[in-house]
Amino acid sequence: MSGVGNLGAKLSALRMELETLKIHGHEHIDGALPPDWLDRLDVEEMKPKPETTPASPKAKAQNDSLSKIVSEISECRLCPLCRTRTKTVPGVGNPRARLMFVGEAPGADEDKQGEPFVGKAGQLLTRMIAAMGLKREDVFIANVLKCRPPDNRTPLPAEVEKCEPYLLRQIDMIRPEVICSLGAVASSTLLKTETSISKLRGKFHSYHDTPLMPTFHPSYLLRNPAAKKDVWEDLQMVMKRLGLAIPAEKEKP
Ligand code: URA
């Protein structure tokens, strides 16, 4: 309530008190206020106060934090994957990362360790990051799903629907300048498209207003090393966007 509103409320309370006194036979005070009426008015309350508005989505986001998201994920039971997971895999890295990598879902190694991209594909991702002149600790690495689908099957739409809001909150907190989605599933899931990864890669798209570069998944590169050249092109576009120096030819992954 504003200061003026408060004052009005106090005055009507005092008026009601006067009426009560009159009803109880105190006619002699008719028209008069109680002797302490001035003390009973809180001067601070009379000062106009800024109108309070309900918390905006931005204000709510400011109350969010990466550790809060991690702890919510650790207790998440929004989909059946909670029954088969060993550990949740929320994501790791620099909370102020300029670059975020997003894969599909944890595999067996990640499910055991609670960290994304730690298996063979993860080791290749670490080398890709190094080729960009960065370390794993400089970037943020996450997945669309925070729990492993049994037998590494493709995430179901219902699982994505429940889990993607965690990723969006992480992006809101980290505010990366660029997201690099790894593989067909992560890229088409985030971009809500059926276009193939070969057509999506090589150009920037937008994911909730953040530039997103889709590229091949490191596990695809393990099976098809010839595609490393395409990934390196994609990563160089990311580096240019971030103003990072492109290393000499012999240093590429
Ligand atoms: N593949 C992914 O998409 N994510 C991981 O964390 C590991 C493998």
Across 10-41, b (16+ Cβ under 10 Å) vs e yields: beeeeeeebeebeeeeeeeeeeeeeeeeeeee
Q: Which pLDDT score, from 0 to 100, does residue 85 have?
A: 98
- Distance from the CA of 102 to the center of ligand 1, in angstroms? 9
With beta carbons less than 8 A apart as the criterion, state whether 98 and 218 touch.
no
Helix (H, G, I), strand (E, B) or coil at 212: strand
- Distance from the CA of 118 to the center of ligand 1, in angstroms? 8
Report the distance separating Cα 57 and Cα 168, nearest Å: 13
Candidate of 219, 220, 221, 222 to mutate for ligand 1, largest count of ligand atoms within 8 Å of Cβ: 219
Helix (H, G, I), strand (E, B) or coil at 201: coil
Q: Which pLDDT score, from 0 to 100, does residue 113 have?
A: 98
Please identify, by atom number, the ligand 1 atom nearest to the C-alpha of residue 217: 3
Q: Which pLDDT score, from 0 to 100, does residue 52 have?
A: 45
Q: Which pLDDT score, from 0 to 100, does residue 48 have?
A: 47
Report the distance separating Cα 80 and Cα 145, nearest Å: 12
Pick one of 3.40.50.720, 3.40.190.10, 3.90.550.10, 3.40.470.10 as the CATH number of 57-251: 3.40.470.10
- Distance from the CA of 85 to the center of ligand 1, in angstroms? 14
- Distance from the CA of 75 to the center of ligand 1, in angstroms? 21
Specify the DSSP element, H or E, that contains 169: helix 157-174
Q: Is 70 left (phi over 0), alpha (psi -120 to 50) or beta?
A: alpha
Residue ranges with strand state E in the chain: 92-93, 99-103, 140-143, 178-182, 205-207, 210-215
Candidate of 143, 145, 180 to mutate for ligand 1, largest count of ligand atoms within 8 Å of Cβ: 143
Candidate of 102, 104, 147, 217 to mutate for ligand 1, largest count of ligand atoms within 8 Å of Cβ: 104
- Distance from the CA of 146 to the center of ligand 1, in angstroms? 10
Please identify, by atom number, the ligand 1 atom nearest to the C-alpha of residue 143: 4
Tally the residues of the chain. Answer: 253
Tens of pLDDT along 52-93?
445 555 555 557 899 999 999 999 999 999 999 999 999 999
Average pLDDT for the chain: 86
**pTM score:** 0.76
Q: Which pLDDT score, from 0 to 100, does residue 248 have?
A: 74
Residue 124 identity = L
Token match 């992480």: residue? Answer: 170
In the structure, which protein residues have their CB atom closer than 6 angstroms to any atom of ligand 1? 103-107, 110, 116-117, 121-122, 143
Report the distance separating Cα 100 and Cα 117, nearest Å: 13
Please identify, by atom number, the ligand 1 atom nearest to the C-alpha of residue 110: 6
- Distance from the CA of 240 to the center of ligand 1, in angstroms? 25
For the beta carbon of residue 6, count every other beta carbon within 10 angstroms: 17
Residues in the chain where the model's pLDDT stays below 70: 1-62, 249-253
Q: Which pLDDT score, from 0 to 100, does residue 24 have?
A: 47
Q: Which pLDDT score, from 0 to 100, does residue 108 have?
A: 97
Report the distance separating Cα 231 and Cα 182, nearest Å: 10
What 8-state DSSP symbol labels residue 227? G
Across 61-77, b (16+ Cβ under 10 Å) vs e yields: eeeeebeebbebbeebe
Pairing relation of β-strands 140-143 and 92-93? antiparallel
Domain residue limits, the chain: 2-46, 57-251
